[in-house]
Amino acid sequence: MFPDLPVDPDRPKLFLSICNADGSDRSEHPAGRVISGHYLNHKAQVIVPVPEGYDQDSVRHAFEGFAPFFFYRARIGLSFFLQPEILKAIKRGSFRAMNLDAKIDASDVFALLPDGILVLSVEKDTYETLGLVGEHSRFSKGHRFVIKIDLKSTKFKPGSKLYDRVEWCFTHTLTRTFTFVIAAVEEDGAPMDIGFPDSAHAQKLEPKVEVELIENAEVPLWTQAGSALESPDESANIKQSLLDLHEWLGLVACGQLRVLHVDPFISVYRPPEPNQRGSVMKLTWTGMLVAENLFELSSIVRSFASKHNSWASLLVWGFRDSPVSWKHAEHGHLDCGENDYVIAFANDMAFTFQALGSHDTYTF
């Protein structure tokens, strides 16, 4: 039986925010909150225009210092997270974990968030046999349930009633193993080594790095965006300017040739104005990326824009089948599963875009 679809599903959402770029690498900053609150990231991309007089190697060198943390891929059961040593590590640092072999709208999905919340988004059959109490999913009432367990709670420890109940369920009813990606960070911000049983066939992986130079593209001259905010006559146009840049960045990210040559007989798309012919550098990291790394990358991107009196952008994609988007907001897939963000820097300003699909409870 297929889940009942909402009669009037929510529309996809795009939230825009504008703030001073200073301090954007801190969690209390508006742009910093976007980074710190997005827990499960699988890809980050930097898109920057190549400054006049610079070549590909010179631009690439500006980002060579960025070294994202390693992560693990392992085949484990949920009881792994309840092992005393692992539970101590979870309480001490910040863990991010998610199973990859599942679809959020059609199967059981599990995620461990850095604040210690273990999220179980399960189908009706699993819920009825599991033995733990949850709530109806916002998007599939009666067919999917969401259970949240706080592993960092001081009351959640071996011998407590809740711990013993959860452990019994994970060792007697929900005993299957799943392919997880896991990244952990110590209290001091260093990556954390994790011990796995041999049966997990654990792999310690580094994010994949790709570099691409796009030449002869129509590159927006976007440094006037920040100053436009100071003019009442121009501020009305800033929203459209932001949307135009967001669309252009999306085309570059997708590898669309429209940013190179726009033929009016083929496409109605027009690149943002003003623009000029130039080169764009695209650097991509794919894997399990943590906020601690993305704060560092954001700082490098901001410095690049400031140094060259230009604009620069950071694009981040969340896992499409993640059970949450920002913080604990429930997330579903439906037609796209978007839970992504872009931070663009220009004229000491930070312009933030948060894109979400229609099945998501996050509000700005």
Higher pLDDT, 144 or 256: 144
Rounded to an integer, what distance in angstroms lies between the CA atom of residue 343 and that of residue 24? Answer: 10
Average pLDDT over residues 282-307: 95
244 has a pLDDT exceeding 60: yes
Q: How confident is the model at residue 8 (pLDDT cuts 50, 70, 90)?
A: very low
Q: What is the DSSP letter of 257?
A: G
Helix (H) or strand (E) holding 351: strand 349-356
Question: What pLDDT digit, counting tens, does each position of 298-352 carry?
Answer: 999 999 999 999 999 999 999 999 999 999 999 998 778 899 999 999 989 999 9
Q: How confident is the model at residue 11 (pLDDT cuts 50, 70, 90)?
A: confident
At residue 298, the pLDDT reads: 96
At residue 10, the pLDDT reads: 67
Q: What is the DSSP string of 266-323?
A: T------SSEEEEEEEEEEEEEEE-HHHHHHHHHHHHHHHHHTTSEEEEEEEE-TT-S
Residue 39: strand, helix, or coil: coil
Higher pLDDT, 54 or 175: 175
At residue 162, the pLDDT reads: 96
234 has a pLDDT exceeding 70: no
306 burial class (0-12, 13-18, 19+ CB within 10 angstroms)?
A: middle
* DSSP H helical ranges for the chain: 30-37, 56-62, 84-92, 124-130, 161-172, 225-228, 232-235, 238-254, 291-307
CA angle 149, 178, 330 (to 5 degrees): 45
pLDDT above 90 covers what percent of the chain?
Answer: 71
pLDDT above 70 covers what percent of the chain?
Answer: 92
Question: What pLDDT digit, counting tens, does each position of 26-71 carry?
Answer: 878 889 999 999 999 999 999 999 998 888 888 999 998 899 999 9
Question: What pLDDT digit, counting tens, does each position of 59-100 carry?
Answer: 999 998 899 999 999 999 999 999 999 999 999 999 999 999
CA distances from 155 to 146, 149, 151, 187 (A): 21, 11, 9, 21
Residue 221: strand, helix, or coil: coil
| Longest alpha-carbon distance in the chain | 71
- CA 65 from chain centre, in angstroms, equals 21
**Structure tokens, 74:** 């392992």
Place of tokens 């764009």: 280
**Ramachandran sector of residue 189 (left: φ over 0; alpha: ψ -120 to 50; beta: rest):** left
Average pLDDT over residues 265-275: 82
CB 146 within 8 A of CB 183: no
**Structure tokens, 317:** 């994609």
At residue 54, the pLDDT reads: 87
Average pLDDT over residues 143-148: 96
CA distances from 69 to 147, 190, 350 (A): 29, 8, 25
**Structure tokens, 245:** 């840049």
CA distances from 48 to 63, 215, 273 (A): 11, 12, 17
128 burial class (0-12, 13-18, 19+ CB within 10 angstroms)?
A: exposed
Q: What is the DSSP letter of 356?
A: E
